[in-house]
């Protein structure tokens, strides 16, 4: 049994190409006159007089990273390396160290983000179990003359503030110390649901 080839046959309209060109030009002309003559609410494209008028970033805009601090000013990060592992651009560098606080096993001695390598995917924010890193600053990285100026350390990331509406749920994600009458066990399962909408487990 032979192989039967089935193919579409072009009509005279497709073979001439002229009707297709005219149809495309018609759409272009229609959009042009609608954007020029129509009222602003019916235009396809809204012209922004930049830089005199700047477009406000949407609420879910992924801005620069920041580290969420605890009440004592230390970062909520517990150096679990989840964000560094999830980052496809490998722009996060963490060096962990031991802490004297019995409620926290580790803390980041070094926490650096290379904003030039970041692809703004947000996977680091999704991977963090403690809601310690966010991209709710509403700002984008500023241009730099030297590459080293785009490396943000722990102090730099803690100094960056988030937008006011995203800071409402920030508080310490460390369980309070056990009372004298308690069992002495720290409940690590009691997390904090911050503005990021996730539960911190440390």
Shared domain check, 125 and 90: yes
User: Does residue 194 form part of some domain?
Assistant: no
Shared domain check, 83 and 158: yes
| Cβ atoms of residues 65 and 152 within 8 Å | yes
Q: State pLDDT tens for residues 115-146.
A: 999 999 999 999 999 999 999 998 888 899 99
User: Does residue 78 form part of some domain?
Assistant: yes
Rounded to whole angstroms, how far apart are CA atoms 11 and 34?
Answer: 32
DSSP for the chain, written as a single string: -PPPP--PPP-HHHHH-HHHHHHHHHHHHHHHHHHHHS-GGG-SS----TTTS-PPPPTT-----EEPB-TTS-BS-----HHHHH-TT--EEEEEEE-S-TT-SEEEEEEEEETTT-----HHHHH-TT--EE--S---PPP-SSGGGGEE-HHHHHHPPPPGGGSTT----SPPPPPTTS-S---TT---B-TTS-B---
Q: What are phi and psi of 158, to 5 degrees?
A: -75, -25
User: Does residue 199 form part of some domain?
Assistant: no
Shared domain check, 84 and 42: no
Shared domain check, 89 and 44: no
Predicted pLDDT at 17: 79
**Closest Cα partner for 198 from 125, 144, 142, 136?**
125
**pLDDT band for position 167 (cuts 50, 70, 90):** low
Shared domain check, 72 and 132: yes
The total number of structural domains in the chain stands at 2
Beta bridge mates, 134: 66
Shared domain check, 161 and 71: yes
Residue-number span of the structural domain to which 46 is assigned: 15-54
Rounded to whole angstroms, how far apart are CA atoms 157 and 123?
Answer: 17
Look at 53-57, 59-63, 182-186 and tell me which has the smallest mean pLDDT: 182-186
Find the distance separating the first CA and the last CA of the chain, reported in whole Å: 68
* Mean pLDDT of the chain, nearest integer: 79
Q: State pLDDT tens for residues 75-103.
A: 999 999 999 999 999 999 999 999 888 88
User: Does residue 180 form part of some domain?
Assistant: no
């Amino acid at each position: 049994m032979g192989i039967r080839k089935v193919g579409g046959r072009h009509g005279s309209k497709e073979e001439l190409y002229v009707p297709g060109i005219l149809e495309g030009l018609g759409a272009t002309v229609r959009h042009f006159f609608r954007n020029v003559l129509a009222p602003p609410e019916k235009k396809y494209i809204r012209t922004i007089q930049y830089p005199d008028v700047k477009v406000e970033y949407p609420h879910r805009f992924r801005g620069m990273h920041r580290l969420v601090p605890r009440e004592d000013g230390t970062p909520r990060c517990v150096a679990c390396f989840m964000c560094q592992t999830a980052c496809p651009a490998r722009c996060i560098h963490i060096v962990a160290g031991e802490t004297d606080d019995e409620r926290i096993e580790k803390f980041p001695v070094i926490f650096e983000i290379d904003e030039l390598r970041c692809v703004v995917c947000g996977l680091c924010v999704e991977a963090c179990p403690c809601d310690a890193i966010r991209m709710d600053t509403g700002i984008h990285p500023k241009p730099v003359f030297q590459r080293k100026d785009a490396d943000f350390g722990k102090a730099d990331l803690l100094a960056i503030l988030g937008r006011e509406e995203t800071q409402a749920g920030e508080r310490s994600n460390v369980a309070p110390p056990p009372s004298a009458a308690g069992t002495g066990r720290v409940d690590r399962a009691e997390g904090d649901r911050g503005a990021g909408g996730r539960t911190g487990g440390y």
